[in-house]
Amino acid sequence: MLQSLASNSCVRLIQNHKSTWYFVSLILGYLLYLIFGAVVFSSVELPYEDQLRQELRTVKKQFLIENECLSEERLERFLKKALDASNYGVSILNNASANWNWDFTSSLFFASTVLSTTGYGHTAPLSDGGKAFCIIYSMIGIPFTLLFLTAVVQRIMVFSTRRPITYIHTHWGLSKQLVAIVHATLLGMLAISCFFLIPAAIFSALEENWNFLESFYFCFISLSTIGLGDYVPGEAANQKFRELYKVGITESSPGQPSEWLLLQT
């Protein structure tokens, strides 16, 4: 008797606080997913980091042996200065001196990454005025970009989704639900091809040091607005038609039409 009363009270307690239990489960699930990601990334990437550290120490030690007149402290100061400049996209390498980060085409590319919230991080404003303008520009530009993308996607949806589905359902007599499923599948395959597979093939052909996986990785990181900045197109030394290349990338970078289109369907 007491057991049944206790079980009934527990059931009522769970039912009365169903939303709370759902929220707690959601938090626990998210934390577990974060921990899972951290474990996988650590186990996969840590050996490569350790190997790179050892190689750098070996190269540094050998360099100091070959240049006895140079102290380790002076080398450390020089390397720190070079790394600080590299964090702002400025390289001291001779083969990279011809590439400017703030010419018009590079600035246009940077503006597109700001408005699309991709933010590769390979270039950042150096001056206080540039940082202040970036804040104001983003505050106005990001909502404007979202409004622009919404208007574009709504217009595209009329011609690419609603009208074809209605036409096939009306004239062919097929189930509207079936037509919608087939249409969404085809649209998804088309979006993956146009925004991932084909661009990845083009980037792997244009970028000498990128294979197809690295190009596909760049497309995904860019279109998902993660923007890690480890791969940035058009930054290789002596890049052919760099200005035209940057403008072409800029035209395709602001916004994520494939994701918007799939979400709307």
Instruction: Note whether 195 and 219 are within 8 A (CB).
Output: yes
pLDDT for 73 equals 87
pLDDT for 71 equals 85
User: What element of type H or E holds 74?
Assistant: helix 72-87
Longest CA pairwise span in the chain (Å): 90
Q: Flag residues of the chain having pLDDT under 50.
A: 2, 254-265
- CA nearest to 113, candidates 214, 262, 249: 249
Tokens 């990334």 belong to residue:
41
pLDDT for 127 equals 85
Residue 16 tokens read as 């009365």
- CA nearest to 252, candidates 213, 208, 207, 202: 202
Residue 178 tokens read as 């079936």
CA dist., res. 2 & res. 7, Å (int): 9
pLDDT for 11 equals 61
pLDDT for 137 equals 93
The pairs formed by 216-224 with CB atoms below 8 angstroms and a separation of 24 or more are: 219/195, 220/196, 222/118, 222/253, 223/195, 223/196, 223/256, 223/258, 223/259, 224/256, 224/259
Q: Is 241 left (phi over 0), alpha (psi -120 to 50) or beta?
A: left
